[in-house]
Structure 1
Amino acid sequence: MPTFAIYTNVSKPEDTEQFLKETSKFVSEILGKPEKFVTVRFHPDQLMTHGGSTDPCGSVELYSIGLKTEKTNEYTQAIGDFIANRLTIPRDRFYVNFSNLERNEVGIDGKTFAV
């Protein structure tokens, strides 16, 4: 059930649908989770600053059940490369925030994943 949210002051790419699909596949691959459970939220054109500058910047959030905290450095590297390459935001212009969720904290189709 990974949810990957990108907030940025950069405008959306012309190929937004392709970008969303690539991002979904990317998240599935780095976490080793089925893509059918991945949600991607993309919020371009945000009013944002980072380090006192309105140069291209962003904020990335990754929520998942069973997020392997020992791999957050690896995830940060991969996410940094992906965002820098795909949205041309320098790697030092966005944070990546991780949230490991318990199965009983996430529900779908009228029940939680704890059932």
Structure 2
Amino acid sequence: MPTFVVYTNLPTIPDADQFLRDASKFVADRLAKPEKFVTVRVHPNQLMSHGGSTDPCGSVELYSINLGTDKNNEHTKAIGDFIADKLTIPRDRFYVNFNSLERIDVGIDGKTFA
């Protein structure tokens, strides 16, 4: 059930459909989860600044059951490289926030994962 959310002040996402497919596969591979459970949400054209500048910037959130913290540094580097490559936002122009969820806190198809 990983959810990957990208907010950015970029007016549009170049080739948005391809970005969504690439991001979905990236997250599934990165977390070793079935891609059928991955959700990707992208919010372009946000009113945003980072470090006092409105140059291209963003904010990334990664939610997953039992995400833990032991790989946050590895995930941060990989996500940074992915966003910098796909959206050309410099790695020092966005934060990555991790949200580890309990199975009971995530539901689909009328039931939780617990």
TM-score norm. by structure 1 comes to 0.97
**1:57 & 1:3 partners in 2: Cα distance?**
20
What whole-Å deviation, never above 9, does each CA across 1:31-70 have from its counterpart, x for those lacking one?
A: 0000000000000111100011000000000000011310
**What amino acid is the match of 2:12?**
K
Q: Which runs of 4+ in 1 moved over 6 A?
A: none
**2:103 & 2:12 partners in 1: Cα distance?**
33
**2:55 & 2:75 partners in 1: Cα distance?**
24
3-state DSSP class of the match of 1:67? coil
**What amino acid is the match of 1:29?**
D
Q: Which runs of 5+ in 1 are unaligned?
A: none
Write the mapping of 1:1-115 to structure 2, written as runs, cut at 5 A.
Answer: 1-114=1-114
3-state DSSP class of the match of 1:23? helix
**1:25 & 1:11 partners in 2: Cα distance?**
24
Tell me the C-alpha RMSD between the 2 structures: 0.7
Shift of 1:17: 0.5
Shift of 1:15: 1.1
TM-score norm. by structure 2 comes to 0.97
Q: Which runs of 5+ in 2 are unaligned?
A: none
**Identical amino acids, percent of aligned pairs:** 73
**1:8 & 1:31 partners in 2: Cα distance?**
23
3-state DSSP class of the match of 1:12? coil
What whole-Å deviation, never above 9, does each CA across 1:90-111 have from its counterpart, x for those lacking one?
A: 0000000000000000000110
